[in-house]
Protein backbone atom coordinates (compact mmCIF):
# COMPACT_ATOMS: atom_id res chain seq x y z
CA UNK A 1 0.00 0.00 0.00
CA UNK A 2 1.38 3.43 -0.93
CA UNK A 3 2.04 5.91 1.88
CA UNK A 4 -0.82 8.20 0.89
CA UNK A 5 -3.24 5.26 0.51
CA UNK A 6 -2.23 3.97 3.94
CA UNK A 7 -2.75 7.42 5.43
CA UNK A 8 -6.21 7.64 3.90
CA UNK A 9 -7.07 4.21 5.29
CA UNK A 10 -5.95 5.27 8.76
CA UNK A 11 -8.00 8.46 8.53
CA UNK A 12 -11.07 6.46 7.56
CA UNK A 13 -10.68 3.96 10.40
CA UNK A 14 -10.06 6.63 13.05
CA UNK A 15 -12.70 9.08 11.83
CA UNK A 16 -15.39 9.79 14.43
CA UNK A 17 -17.97 9.19 11.68
CA UNK A 18 -16.74 5.60 11.23
CA UNK A 19 -19.27 3.31 12.99
CA UNK A 20 -17.04 1.96 15.78
CA UNK A 21 -19.46 2.26 18.69
CA UNK A 22 -16.98 4.35 20.70
CA UNK A 23 -19.42 7.27 20.95
CA UNK A 24 -21.44 5.33 23.55
CA UNK A 25 -18.65 5.31 26.14
CA UNK A 26 -17.26 8.13 28.25
CA UNK A 27 -13.96 6.69 29.57
CA UNK A 28 -15.15 7.35 33.12
CA UNK A 29 -15.87 10.99 32.40
CA UNK A 30 -19.61 10.82 33.02
CA UNK A 31 -19.06 9.72 36.61
CA UNK A 32 -16.20 12.13 37.27
CA UNK A 33 -17.89 15.14 35.69
CA UNK A 34 -21.14 14.37 37.48
CA UNK A 35 -19.36 14.28 40.82
CA UNK A 36 -17.52 17.51 40.14
CA UNK A 37 -14.11 15.84 39.99
CA UNK A 38 -13.52 17.10 36.46
CA UNK A 39 -14.44 20.75 36.20
CA UNK A 40 -13.07 22.40 33.11
CA UNK A 41 -10.25 22.11 30.64
CA UNK A 42 -7.34 21.79 33.06
CA UNK A 43 -8.90 18.87 34.92
CA UNK A 44 -9.78 17.14 31.66
CA UNK A 45 -6.30 17.64 30.23
CA UNK A 46 -4.72 16.14 33.34
CA UNK A 47 -7.13 13.20 33.36
CA UNK A 48 -6.39 12.30 29.76
CA UNK A 49 -2.65 12.71 30.28
CA UNK A 50 -2.44 10.81 33.57
CA UNK A 51 -5.12 8.13 33.17
CA UNK A 52 -6.34 7.52 29.63
CA UNK A 53 -3.07 7.94 27.71
CA UNK A 54 -0.98 5.70 30.03
CA UNK A 55 -3.64 2.98 30.05
CA UNK A 56 -3.80 2.92 26.27
CA UNK A 57 -0.01 2.84 25.97
CA UNK A 58 0.53 0.01 28.46
CA UNK A 59 -2.55 -2.12 27.78
CA UNK A 60 -4.53 -1.44 24.60
CA UNK A 61 -1.40 -0.74 22.58
CA UNK A 62 0.17 -4.06 23.57
CA UNK A 63 -2.86 -6.04 22.41
CA UNK A 64 -3.20 -4.00 19.24
CA UNK A 65 0.43 -4.62 18.29
CA UNK A 66 0.21 -8.35 19.01
CA UNK A 67 -3.01 -8.66 17.00
CA UNK A 68 -1.50 -6.75 14.10
CA UNK A 69 1.24 -9.35 14.01
CA UNK A 70 -1.17 -12.26 14.30
CA UNK A 71 -3.98 -11.16 11.99
CA UNK A 72 -7.66 -12.07 12.27
CA UNK A 73 -7.12 -15.79 11.68
CA UNK A 74 -4.71 -16.17 14.63
CA UNK A 75 -5.99 -13.66 17.22
CA UNK A 76 -8.49 -15.83 19.12
CA UNK A 77 -6.11 -16.79 21.95
CA UNK A 78 -4.94 -13.20 22.23
CA UNK A 79 -8.56 -12.03 22.37
CA UNK A 80 -9.33 -14.43 25.22
CA UNK A 81 -6.20 -13.29 27.05
CA UNK A 82 -7.38 -9.68 26.76
CA UNK A 83 -10.73 -10.74 28.20
CA UNK A 84 -9.06 -12.36 31.21
CA UNK A 85 -7.07 -9.20 31.89
CA UNK A 86 -10.01 -6.80 31.51
CA UNK A 87 -11.49 -7.36 34.96
CA UNK A 88 -13.71 -4.28 35.28
CA UNK A 89 -17.11 -5.09 33.83
CA UNK A 90 -17.80 -1.61 32.45
CA UNK A 91 -14.49 -1.49 30.60
CA UNK A 92 -14.94 -5.05 29.34
CA UNK A 93 -18.41 -4.19 28.06
CA UNK A 94 -17.13 -1.11 26.26
CA UNK A 95 -14.22 -2.98 24.73
CA UNK A 96 -16.36 -5.84 23.46
CA UNK A 97 -19.03 -3.53 22.04
CA UNK A 98 -16.44 -1.50 20.18
CA UNK A 99 -14.84 -4.65 18.82
CA UNK A 100 -18.17 -6.04 17.67
CA UNK A 101 -19.17 -2.75 16.05
CA UNK A 102 -15.86 -2.57 14.21
CA UNK A 103 -16.20 -6.12 12.96
CA UNK A 104 -19.77 -5.53 11.85
CA UNK A 105 -18.80 -2.42 9.91
CA UNK A 106 -15.76 -4.04 8.32
CA UNK A 107 -17.77 -7.11 7.39
CA UNK A 108 -20.20 -4.86 5.54
CA UNK A 109 -17.48 -2.98 3.69
CA UNK A 110 -15.71 -6.19 2.73
CA UNK A 111 -12.55 -6.19 4.86
CA UNK A 112 -10.97 -9.66 4.46
CA UNK A 113 -11.60 -11.95 7.42
CA UNK A 114 -14.00 -9.63 9.24
CA UNK A 115 -17.14 -11.68 8.56
CA UNK A 116 -15.54 -14.92 9.74
CA UNK A 117 -14.28 -13.39 12.98
CA UNK A 118 -17.60 -11.65 13.58
CA UNK A 119 -19.31 -15.03 13.31
CA UNK A 120 -17.05 -16.35 16.07
CA UNK A 121 -17.92 -13.37 18.25
CA UNK A 122 -21.65 -13.81 17.67
CA UNK A 123 -21.32 -17.48 18.64
CA UNK A 124 -19.46 -16.46 21.84
CA UNK A 125 -16.39 -18.39 20.74
CA UNK A 126 -14.27 -15.24 21.21
CA UNK A 127 -15.04 -11.98 23.06
CA UNK A 128 -14.00 -9.54 20.32
CA UNK A 129 -12.14 -6.93 22.38
CA UNK A 130 -11.61 -3.57 20.75
CA UNK A 131 -7.82 -3.34 20.85
CA UNK A 132 -7.39 -6.85 19.44
CA UNK A 133 -9.90 -6.20 16.67
CA UNK A 134 -8.29 -2.86 15.81
CA UNK A 135 -4.89 -4.44 15.36
CA UNK A 136 -6.11 -7.45 13.41
CA UNK A 137 -8.31 -5.37 11.12
CA UNK A 138 -5.46 -2.94 10.48
CA UNK A 139 -3.36 -5.84 9.23
CA UNK A 140 -6.26 -7.07 7.09
CA UNK A 141 -6.39 -3.64 5.47
CA UNK A 142 -2.59 -3.61 4.95
CA UNK A 143 -2.27 -0.66 7.31
CA UNK A 144 1.29 -0.26 8.65
CA UNK A 145 1.65 -0.80 12.38
CA UNK A 146 2.82 2.73 13.09
CA UNK A 147 -0.31 4.18 11.48
CA UNK A 148 -2.55 1.61 13.16
CA UNK A 149 -1.22 2.69 16.55
CA UNK A 150 -1.48 6.40 15.79
CA UNK A 151 -5.04 6.02 14.53
CA UNK A 152 -6.14 4.00 17.54
CA UNK A 153 -4.63 6.44 20.02
CA UNK A 154 -6.17 9.36 18.16
CA UNK A 155 -9.54 7.62 18.32
CA UNK A 156 -9.23 6.97 22.05
CA UNK A 157 -8.39 10.57 22.93
CA UNK A 158 -10.88 12.03 20.46
CA UNK A 159 -13.71 9.85 21.79
CA UNK A 160 -13.02 10.97 25.35
CA UNK A 161 -12.95 14.61 24.28
CA UNK A 162 -16.19 14.20 22.36
CA UNK A 163 -17.81 12.67 25.44
CA UNK A 164 -16.62 15.58 27.57
CA UNK A 165 -18.24 18.05 25.19
CA UNK A 166 -21.54 16.17 25.22
CA UNK A 167 -21.41 16.11 29.01
CA UNK A 168 -20.85 19.86 29.13
CA UNK A 169 -17.51 19.50 30.91
CA UNK A 170 -15.76 21.63 28.26
CA UNK A 171 -16.70 23.39 25.06
CA UNK A 172 -15.77 22.22 21.58
CA UNK A 173 -12.93 24.72 21.18
CA UNK A 174 -11.48 23.84 24.57
CA UNK A 175 -11.56 20.16 23.58
CA UNK A 176 -9.58 20.91 20.43
CA UNK A 177 -7.08 22.93 22.40
CA UNK A 178 -6.59 20.04 24.81
CA UNK A 179 -5.98 17.67 21.90
CA UNK A 180 -3.38 20.05 20.48
CA UNK A 181 -1.68 20.26 23.87
CA UNK A 182 -1.57 16.47 24.19
CA UNK A 183 -0.15 15.81 20.74
CA UNK A 184 3.49 16.04 21.79
CA UNK A 185 2.95 13.56 24.63
CA UNK A 186 0.99 11.25 22.34
CA UNK A 187 3.80 11.30 19.79
CA UNK A 188 6.40 10.66 22.48
CA UNK A 189 4.38 7.74 23.81
CA UNK A 190 4.09 6.20 20.35
CA UNK A 191 7.84 6.51 19.87
CA UNK A 192 8.52 4.51 23.04
CA UNK A 193 8.99 0.73 22.76
CA UNK A 194 5.90 -1.40 23.21
CA UNK A 195 5.90 -2.84 26.76
CA UNK A 196 6.99 -6.45 27.18
CA UNK A 197 3.71 -7.33 28.87
CA UNK A 198 0.27 -5.75 28.93
CA UNK A 199 -0.44 -3.89 32.17
CA UNK A 200 -2.33 -0.86 33.39
CA UNK A 201 -2.71 1.38 36.43
CA UNK A 202 -5.41 3.99 35.99
CA UNK A 203 -7.18 3.99 39.36
CA UNK A 204 -9.32 7.08 38.87
CA UNK A 205 -10.65 5.89 35.52
CA UNK A 206 -11.10 2.32 36.76
CA UNK A 207 -13.07 3.31 39.85
CA UNK A 208 -15.18 5.71 37.81
CA UNK A 209 -15.99 2.88 35.41
CA UNK A 210 -16.97 0.59 38.29
CA UNK A 211 -19.26 3.21 39.80
CA UNK A 212 -20.86 4.32 36.55
CA UNK A 213 -23.81 1.94 36.73
CA UNK A 214 -24.91 3.49 40.03
CA UNK A 215 -26.09 6.53 38.08
CA UNK A 216 -29.75 5.91 37.11
CA UNK A 217 -29.82 8.78 34.60
CA UNK A 218 -26.58 8.06 32.77
CA UNK A 219 -26.15 9.20 29.19
CA UNK A 220 -23.34 6.80 28.29
CA UNK A 221 -23.19 3.01 28.41
CA UNK A 222 -19.95 3.14 30.42
DSSP output for 128-163: --HHHHHHHHHHHTT--HHHHHHHHHHHHHHHHHHH
Nearest to 58 by CA among 161, 177, 156: 156
The predicted model scores a pTM of: 0.93
The rounded distance, in Å, linking the Cα atoms of 52 and 65 is: 18
Contact 153, 186 (CB under 8 A): yes
Structurally, the chain folds into a number of domains equal to 1
Domain that holds residue 54: 37-212
Radius of gyration of the chain (CA): 17
pLDDT at residue 216 in the model: 63
pLDDT at residue 137 in the model: 97
Contact 177, 161 (CB under 8 A): no
221 in any annotated domain: no
Q: Print pLDDT tens along the chain (222 aa).
A: 568 999 999 999 888 888 887 777 788 888 888 888 999 999 999 999 999 999 999 999 999 999 999 999 999 999 999 999 999 888 898 999 999 999 999 999 999 999 999 999 999 999 999 999 999 999 999 999 999 999 999 999 999 999 999 999 999 999 999 999 999 999 999 999 999 999 998 988 889 888 777 766 666 766
CATH code, domain carrying 131 = 1.10.4190.10
pLDDT at residue 57 in the model: 97
2 in any annotated domain: no
Amino acid sequence: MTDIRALLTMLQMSDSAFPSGAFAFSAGLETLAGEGRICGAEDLHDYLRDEILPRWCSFDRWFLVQAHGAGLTDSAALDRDCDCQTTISGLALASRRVGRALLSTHARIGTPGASAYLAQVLQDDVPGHGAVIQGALARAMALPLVLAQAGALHGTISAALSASVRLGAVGALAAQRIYAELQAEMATALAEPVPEFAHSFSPLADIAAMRHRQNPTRLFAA
